[in-house]
Homo-oligomer: A and B are copies of this chain.
Amino acid sequence: MPLVVVGSVALDTIETPSERRDEVLGGSAVYFSYAASYFTPVRLVAAVGDDWPAEHTELLKARQIDTTGLQVIRGAKTFRWHGRYAENMNDRETVEVQLNVMDQFDPLLPESYRRCQYLFLANGSTRLQLKVLDQAPGVNLAVADTMDLWINTEREELMELLRRVDGLVLNDSEAKLLTGETNLVRAGHHVRRMGPSFVVIKKGEHGAMFFSRHETYVLPAYPTERVVDPTGAGDSFAGGMMGYLAEEGNFEPTTLKKAMAYGILVASFTVEQFSVEGLQRTDRDALERRMREYQQMLTF
C-alpha cells in the first residue's frame, strides 16, 4: 500500500569528530522516504526553495518516491541545518538552523495522495501536522513524530494530535519531557493514555521500546562499530517501520513488532555513512540478511 509522509527536506552540514560534509541531502521526510522505499511506494509532501538541486529530486524519484507533493517555492531558500557531533557520536549541538522555506510551508496533500491509508507526520509544527490530518479523513493508520520544541511551545495542539493519531514515535528525552516521568516504561504508557493506540520510544544506540494497551517490549539496536553519521537515524527507523506496515497492509501486534525490527535495521544502515549514502548502498537483500542475523542474535 502506498504511504504518505509529510515533513522536512533539508540541506545538512554535518561535522563529526573526524569529518565534515557541507549541504548534503537531509531532512526528516527524506530519510523517512528513503527508508520506507525498501518496502512500499512513498508519496512525499514537503517544500524546498528554488536553490534546490534538481538531482536530489531525481535521486528520490529513482527510489519509487512520488514527488508530486514536493513544492518548490520561488524566491525562497531550502531549509538548512548545521550540526556537530561530540566525540561519543551521540551528543550533538546545533550550530545553525536556517528555517527559510519551512517558515512558509503550508502542507497540501495532492488529490492523488488523499486516498492513501498510511500516513506519517514527520517531526514538524504540531499545527501543520493537524492541518494534514484534516486533509486525510479516510486514513487507516496515522502516526506522528514530535520533538521538545513542540512539546514546549504547542502543548495544547499536541494533546489534540495525540487524541487523533494511532501512533506516536518520539525519543527517550522527549517522552520524559512530555510526561514528567523518569522511568521509560511508565513514560511510554503515560503517553499512550494521552490518546494513541501505540507509542514507540526511540533510544538511539540502545534500540526502541513499544507500548500498547496489552504490550510492553524493547528491542535492542543492531550493534555496529561503524557509526559515521547518526543524522536521520530516527527518521529512518520510522520509515522502515511504517514502510513495512504499509507493505503488509495491516498493523496487527505481530506485524508491528516485525516493523519495529525493520526500523531498527534500516537505521543501522543509515548511521554507517553520511547523509542517505548508507541507504543508497543497501538493498532489500542486504536488509533481509541483517534481519536473519538480528533474529539469530535474539534467539537463545
A interface residues, Cβ below 8 angstroms from B:
87-89, 182-186, 189, 203, 205-207, 209, 216-221, 223-225, 227, 254, 257-258, 260-261, 295, 297-300
Residues A220 and B223 in contact, CB atoms below 8 Å apart: no
Given A218-B220, A219-B298, A258-B300, 19 more contacts at CB 8 Å? A89-B182, A184-B223, A185-B223, A185-B224, A185-B225, A186-B225, A203-B206, A206-B220, A209-B223, A217-B297, A218-B221, A218-B297, A219-B220, A257-B300, A260-B300, A261-B300, A295-B300, A298-B299, A299-B299
Copies of this chain, complex-wide, total 2
6 contacts between A and B (CB under 8 A): A186-B225, A203-B206, A218-B220, A218-B221, A218-B223, A219-B298
A203 neighbours in B (Cβ, 8 Å): 206
A185 neighbours in B (Cβ, 8 Å): 223-225
A88 to B172 Cα, complex, angstroms:
12
CB distance from A300 to the nearest CB of B (A): 4
CB distance from A159 to the nearest CB of B (A): 23
The answer, among B89, B258, B297, for a CB contact under 8 Å with A183, is B89
A221 neighbours in B (Cβ, 8 Å): 218
A295 to B299 Cα, complex, angstroms:
7
A209 to B220 Cα, complex, angstroms:
10
Q: Max chain B CB contacts within 10 Å: which of A185, A220, A257, A299?
A: A220
A300 neighbours in B (Cβ, 8 Å): 254, 257-258, 260-261, 295
Residues B227 and A183 in contact, CB atoms below 8 Å apart: yes
Residues A225 and B183 in contact, CB atoms below 8 Å apart: yes
Closest to A259 in B: B300
CB distance from A201 to the nearest CB of B (A): 10
A223 neighbours in B (Cβ, 8 Å): 184-185, 209, 216-218
Closest to A254 in B: B300
Closest to A219 in B: B220
CB distance from A195 to the nearest CB of B (A): 20
A182 neighbours in B (Cβ, 8 Å): 87-89
Q: Max chain B CB contacts within 10 Å: which of A209, A218, A258, A300?
A: A300
CB distance from A84 to the nearest CB of B (A): 15
A122 to B217 Cα, complex, angstroms:
31
A299 to B300 Cα, complex, angstroms:
10
CB distance from A192 to the nearest CB of B (A): 13
Closest to A225 in B: B185
Closest to A221 in B: B218
Q: Max chain B CB contacts within 10 Å: which of A184, A217, A295?
A: A217
A223 to B221 Cα, complex, angstroms:
15
A63 to B185 Cα, complex, angstroms:
32
Closest to A88 in B: B182
A299 neighbours in B (Cβ, 8 Å): 298-299
A203 to B218 Cα, complex, angstroms:
14
A227 neighbours in B (Cβ, 8 Å): 183
